[in-house]
């Protein structure tokens, strides 16, 4: 088999980014298309990535005092209709169940596009007194928003996510919660996925349907387009008023609860891919990689001896909770395997032949830098541990450097248009606060406001559209 | 608050088993009813039980060489219709999606009642050569089978489960797989849930719609009714032929694959409850209990000192991965807490007052036996570890004793009727092999064949209905 087979088959990123992305998800065997438009199958290697993400995110959610629960998939139409902005936002994109068994349903049911309405309807029963607050729930679930096209992981009708739903006694507490969960998302993205993000608050026109305000983290993909990687909503009393979530406070007065909701999804898998991968295929930060180290024995001479040594090394790594795999198949050449695991994004490759063993050495190849080195077997496990840690940091730094060097201070619509002709990226611009100016930017350039970053440009200047004096900067970008 | 409050509110098991069960699931705060008929919410305490089950089952599934994946929720009607027995079995109980967004769908979609059809349609693409076999997949998912009534955990429209789907080159391999997974279920039920089961093969009339044959594990609930706790199906080539799952073998001949599927669900939570619980409420084996040890400080004298000691002990337990909790709320009496945690099935309670600390002792109360003992704090963690292990074994033994003493050898329909008037349980009877005889038993008594146990009665005797000589014994019972 041609050693270069897989490399050749991946479309170059420069030439066609979209094709490159599709090549990677298919050839790294992360997914396949389902029979219904807008659907996909998450294949084992892709699902293993998601499981690693879930495990780490779940730990963070529990450590911040939330409990998991499970709410029904189907929501009565009447529930969806209760919060006016919410139904306007979601009704056009829901799937409708109209028949159960052999009977037409009296009231159509929707497959949850998100679960605020059904969870609020239950919270209304569960919350009676200030002693029942705060109530901090999370669920891992599938949700559905009707789509006709499929962009694997990024845009599919059904996707997997976690959605947190909380109720609090005061506005302040709900605000703290919404901010805390945004921080959980930021830390997860940067520490676990090595994916730098910009945290901020959404502009009014981009907030969640039914929220008082929405916070988001926005990541910059390697084509200069933005990806929203997590959102946290302060719902105020919008839902508690329509679902009657009232509690009696310490003075026995009835009060409406303040609420939040927040979600992160399999979309992040797409973000992960577009942050780190290259023309050789997928690249995964060690923390999220299903296989962290692949050991490829070079089967010459005393094959069994080499295999045994490879398995012994893998065992040493596994004892340290390092996800190691030996590929000792004889029908594939080492070169084929090197390409295969590079293409699947395995952070570290160990090569080990009979001569290496004789010299008490091994070859270590890094997926992130492409470097290869001969190193002593004496400090094998320590070397691997250190290298994995280094790769995690290096991948973050590389992505951070890309983001920083592709973040532009833009002072007028003209400058923005020029920038888009050169190179895409995050664009920080002054904005007067008028939604009409945002709409104008979008019409003229296709660029949308990602958020109002917590880290603002210093000083003040003219709005990029209307030229009114303003002291707020907005993060703009073309977005997925 | 009245210390006996919760105890009084639980209906006695003897008087009304069904009411007793509903009292437990509600008062132990495991679930609530959803707004749509047939639906339920799994509340945090119930979900924590399910998460523990999932974690242990997932480990067993992965250790036997399976990989997790995720397939779409919605299945085209035409897929469901491909396997004749399958559609006959499931069509009457599926939910239909007929509208997506604002458009009527050309082809209605069903919410998966199980995923054989969609997974087979994909396997048909993925499997080309003998090198692609075996393919061993599993998914954790929600499924839906339309119901109008709700029996929490036992019978609901939507439920959570894992479903394994595999493809193999030969009949033998598929058979080994089906048997292996039945063994995984048996081991899980007995080792983890402390729930003894009878393993066997389903009779033809009770097998899975589309299977060649079905294996099951059957547990005996404390009211003498059976609960099917896991099934493993050998599908033969039934699905591979209609979905065209063909592979070229080593001689380049095209062959249809042999398949299995197997599932276990949140139904097991119901089985867990009905195996171990009593009139004091839920009782949980330590391995599955979300809280394994609750420490209740008796807040007299130097309250802070007592609280500190309680938290220190909990820390020691947590360091050993024991799920410990301190309830040091001052607004509840110790007596209220004792009842509360008994009702929630916490296996071990530690009581600790200022006098105990002075005497270097603590009170250990066991949920399974009700025993209380004063023990030395010197060997605190060891005592707790030993006690948890003992409780796990004791609960299994108790349940096994119940099952064994409620398993009857029944030789005629008359004997069966008499037995049912006395006490319900498993009934092992000779059966000639004619389905008509099984139907007759059901009509006359409401009793169904659970399975043909691997452990057969020795010898041979007359069929309990037609009196033909037979050497097969069937496990009969009324069932959930």
pLDDT digits (tens, 9 = 90+) for A208-258: 999 999 999 999 999 999 999 999 999 999 999 999 999 999 999 999 999
State which H helix or E strand residue A480 sits in.
none
Judge whether residue A170 has pLDDT over 60: yes
Provide the pLDDT for residue A79.
94
For the whole prediction, is pTM greater than 0.80?
yes
* pLDDT tens, residue by residue, B109-151: 999 999 999 999 999 999 999 999 999 999 999 999 998 888 9
Q: Is residue A412 exposed (0-12), middle (13-18) or buried (19+ Cβ within 10 Å)?
A: middle
- Does the domain formed by A293-390 have CATH 3.40.50.800? yes
| C-alpha distances out from residue A365 to A43, A368, B14, Å | 27, 9, 68
Q: How confident is the model at residue A8 (pLDDT cuts 50, 70, 90)?
A: low
Residue of B43, B72, B146 lying closest to A100 (CB–CB): B146
Say if residue A4's pLDDT is above 80.
Answer: no
Q: What is the mean pLDDT of chain B?
A: 96
Q: What is the pLDDT of residue A218?
A: 98
Banded pLDDT at B5 (limits 50, 70, 90): very low
Could you tell me the CA-to-CA distances from B474 to B222, B223, B226, B440 in Å, in that order?
21, 20, 14, 14
Which of chain B's residues have a Cβ under 8 Å away from the Cβ of A109?
36, 95
Predicted local confidence at residue B96, as pLDDT: 96
Reduced to 3 states (helix: H, G, I; strand: E, B; else coil), residue A115 is coil
| Residues above pLDDT 90, as percent of chain B | 93
Q: Is the pLDDT of residue A264 over 90?
A: yes
Quick one: CA dihedral B211, B217, B221, B224, positive or negative? Answer: positive
CB contact under 8 A, A122 and B40: no
Residues contacting B178, CB < 8 A, separation 6+: B215, B232, B233, B234, B260, B262
Q: How far apart are CA B371 and CA B177, in angstroms?
A: 44
In this complex, which of A100, A126, A142 lies closest to B142 when CB atoms are compared? A142
Q: Answer yes or no: is pLDDT of A6 > 80.
A: no
Return the domain boundaries, chain A: 5-276, 293-390, 407-477
Contact check, Cβ <8 Å, B126/A34: no
Task: Answer yes or no: is pLDDT of A5 > 50.
Answer: no
Sign of CA dihedral B140, A184, B29, B38: negative
Nearest to B73 among A47, A100, A158 (CB): A158
Q: What is the CA radius of gyration of chain A?
A: 25
Q: Which of A72, A116, A167 to mutate to test the interface with B (most CBs of B within 10 A)?
A: A72
Does A371 score more than 90 pLDDT? Answer: yes
Supply the pLDDT for residue A2: 42
Strand partners, B70: A42
pLDDT-derived band at A378, boundaries 50, 70, 90: very high
State yes or no: pLDDT of B7 exceeds 80: no
Q: Which residues of B touch A36 (CB under 8 A)?
A: 72, 74, 76, 109
H helix and E strand count, chain B: 15, 25
CB A146 within 8 A of CB A38: yes
Contact A68 B51 (CB under 8 A): yes
Q: Which of A76, A101, A122 sits opposite B41 (nearest CB)?
A: A122
Q: Mean pLDDT in chain A?
A: 96
Instruction: Judge whether residue B1 has pLDDT over 60.
Output: no
At residue A412 the predicted structure's pLDDT band, cuts being 50, 70 and 90, is very high
Residues 6+ apart with CB under 8 A from A216: A182, A199, A200, A201, A202, A228, A229, A230, A231, A232, A450, A451
| DSSP of A141-188 | EEEE---SS-BTTTB-SEEEEEEEEEEESSHHHHHHHHHHHHHHHHHI
Q: What are phi and psi of A80, to 5 degrees?
A: -60, -30
The per-residue pLDDT for B8 is: 52
**Residues of B whose CB is below 8 A from A32:** 122, 125-126
The residue among B420, B421, B409 whose CA lies nearest residue B459 is: B409
- Separation of alpha carbons B144 and B158, rounded Å: 4
Neighbours of A16 (CB within 10 A): 12
Do residues B26 and B33 make contact, with C-beta atoms less than 8 angstroms apart? no
B409-477: what fold?
Translation Initiation Factor IF3 (3.30.110)
Model pLDDT, residue A149: 84
Burial class (CB in 10 A: 0-12, 13-18, 19+), B55: exposed
pLDDT, tens digit, 9 for 90 and up, residues B447-462: 999 999 999 989 999 9
Q: Is the peptide bond before A134 cis (omega within 30 degrees of 0)?
A: yes
C-alpha distance from residue A397 to each of A53, A91, A275, A383, A392 (Å): 20, 42, 12, 21, 9
- Main-chain phi, psi angles of A198, to 5 degrees: -110, 120
Q: Return the SS3 of A425.
A: coil
Residue A290 to residue A297: CA distance in whole angstroms = 20
Q: Which two tokens stand for residue B290?
A: 């979300």
* C-beta of residue B164 within 8 angstroms of C-beta of residue B137: yes
Using a CB-CB cut-off of 8 Å, the residues of chain A touching B70 are 41-42, 47, 50, 160
| DSSP strand pairing (A293-297 vs A348-352) | parallel
The DSSP secondary structure of A19-72, one letter per residue, reads: HHHHHHHHHTT-EEE-SSTT-EEE-HHHHHHHHHHHHHHHHHHHHTT-EE-B--
Assess whether pLDDT exceeds 90 at residue B9.
no
Q: Could you give the CA distance from residue B164 to residue B260 in angstroms, rounded to a whole number?
A: 8
Instruction: Compute the nearest-CA separation of B108 from chain A (Å).
Output: 10
Burial environment of residue B473 by CB neighbours within 10 A (0 to 12, 13 to 18, 19 or more) = buried
**Residue B99 near residue B107, CB atoms below 8 Å:** no
pLDDT range class, residue A157, cuts 50, 70, 90: very high
Mean of pLDDT values over B429-435: 97
Statement: residue A7 has pLDDT above 80:
no
The pLDDT of residue B2 is above 50 = no
**pLDDT, average across residues A356-369:** 98
Distance CA A381, CA A388 (A): 11
* Distance in angstroms (rounded) separating the CA atoms of residues B474 and B430: 6
Cis peptide bond upstream of B404, omega within 30: no
Query: Which chain B residues have a beta carbon less than 8 Å from that of A117?
Result: none
> Dihedral through CA B63, CA B65, CA B70, CA B76, nearest 10?
-130
C-alpha of A437 from chain center: 29
pLDDT tens digits for B23-71? 999 999 999 999 998 999 999 999 999 999 999 999 999 999 999 999 9
- Cα of B274 to nearest chain A Cα, Å: 22
With H, G, I as helix, E, B as strand and everything else as coil, classify residue B33.
Answer: strand
Instruction: Decide if domain A407-477 falls under CATH 3.30.110.30.
Output: yes
Is residue A224 classed as helix, strand or coil in its secondary structure? coil
CB atoms within 10 A of CB B176: 15
- What pLDDT, on a 0 to 100 scale, did the predictor assign at position A179? 98
Least confident of A143-147, B82-86, B412-416: B82-86
d(CA A45, CA A55): 16
Beta bridge partners of A158: A144
Alpha helices in A188-282 (DSSP H): 238-242, 267-276
Please name the member of A39, A51, A141 whose beta carbon is closest to the beta carbon of B74: A39
Is domain B293-388 given the CATH code 3.30.420.40 in the classification? Answer: no
What ipTM does this complex have? 0.96
Q: Tokens 């209220």 identify what position?
A: B336
Tokens 């003075």 locate to: A251
Contact criterion met (CB below 8 Å) for A308 and A357: no
Size of interface A-B (CB pairs under 8 A): 144
Model confidence pLDDT, tens digit, residues A322-351: 999 999 999 999 999 999 999 999 999 999
The pLDDT value recorded for residue A3 is 43
Residue A466: per-residue pLDDT: 96
Token output for A196: 């730098």
In CATH terms, the superfamily for domain A5-276 is Bira Bifunctional Protein; Domain 2 (3.30.930.10)
CB contacts, 8 Å: A137 with chain B:
44
Q: What angle do CA A404, A408, A412 make, to 5 degrees?
A: 165
Residues of B in contact with A76 (CB under 8 A): 35-36
Taking CA atoms, what residue in B is nearest to A91? B101
Q: How far apart are CA B72 and CA A142, in angstroms?
A: 10
Query: For residue B45, what pLDDT is reported?
Result: 98
Q: What percent of chain A has pLDDT over 70?
A: 98
Strands B158-168 and B258-265: antiparallel
pLDDT confidence tier of residue B163, bands split at 50, 70 and 90: very high
Instruction: Name the residue with tokens 């609280």.
Output: B307
Beta bridge partners of B143: B159
């Amino acid at each position: 088999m041609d050693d270069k087979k897989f490399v050749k088959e991946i479309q170059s990123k420069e030439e066609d980014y979209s094709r490159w992305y599709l090549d990677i998800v298919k050839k790294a065997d992360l997914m396949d298309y389902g029979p219904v438009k807008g659907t996909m199958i998450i294949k084992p290697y892709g699902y293993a990535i998601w499981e690693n993400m879930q495990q780490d995110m779940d730990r963070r959610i529990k450590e911040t005092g939330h409990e998991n629960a499970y709410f029904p998939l189907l929501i009565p139409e009447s529930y969806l209709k209760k919060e006016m902005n919410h139904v306007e936002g979601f009704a056009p994109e829901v799937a409708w169940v109209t028949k159960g068994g052999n009977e037409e349903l009296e009231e159509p049911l929707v497959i949850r596009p998100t679960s605020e309405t059904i969870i609020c309807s239950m919270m209304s029963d569960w919350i009676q007194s200030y002693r029942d607050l705060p109530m901090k729930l999370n669920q891992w679930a599938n949700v559905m928003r009707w789509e006709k096209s499929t962009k694997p992981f990024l845009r599919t009708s059904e996707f997997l996510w976690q959605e947190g739903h909380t109720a609090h006694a005061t506005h302040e507490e709900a605000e703290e919660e919404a901010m805390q969960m945004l921080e959980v998302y930021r830390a997860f993205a940067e520490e676990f996925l090595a994916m730098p993000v910009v945290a901020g608050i959404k502009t009014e026109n981009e907030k969640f349907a039914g929220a008082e305000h929405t916070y988001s983290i926005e990541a910059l993909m390697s084509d200069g387009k933005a990806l929203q990687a997590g959102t946290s909503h302060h719902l105020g009393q919008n839902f508690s008023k329509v679902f009657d979530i009232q509690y009696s406070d310490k003075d026995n007065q009835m009060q409406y609860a303040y609420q939040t909701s927040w979600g992160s999804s399999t979309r992040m898998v797409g973000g992960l891919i577009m942050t780190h991968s290259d023309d050789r295929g997928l690249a995964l930060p060690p923390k999220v990689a299903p296989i962290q180290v692949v050991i490829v024995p070079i089967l010459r001479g005393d094959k069994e001896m080499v295999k045994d040594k490879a398995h012994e090394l893998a065992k040493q790594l596994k004892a340290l909770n390092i996800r190691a795999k030996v590929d000792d198949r004889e029908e594939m050449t080492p070169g084929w395997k090197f390409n295969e695991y590079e293409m699947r994004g395995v952070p570290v490759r160990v090569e080990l032949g009979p001569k290496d063993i004789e010299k008490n050495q091994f070859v270590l190849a890094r997926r992130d830098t492409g470097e290869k080195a001969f190193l002593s077997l004496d400090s094998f496990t320590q070397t691997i541990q250190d290298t994995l840690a280094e790769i995690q940091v290096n991948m973050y730094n590389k992505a951070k450097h890309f983001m920083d060097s592709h973040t532009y201070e833009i002072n007028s619509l003209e400058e923005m248009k020029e920038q888009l002709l050169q190179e895409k990226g995050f664009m920080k611009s002054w904005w007067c606060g008028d939604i009409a100016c945002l709409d104008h930017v979008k019409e003229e350039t296709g660029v949308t406001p990602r958020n109002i970053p917590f880290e603002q440009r210093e000083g003040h200047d003219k709005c990029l559209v209307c030229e009114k004096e303003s002291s707020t900067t907005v993060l703009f970008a073309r977005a997925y």
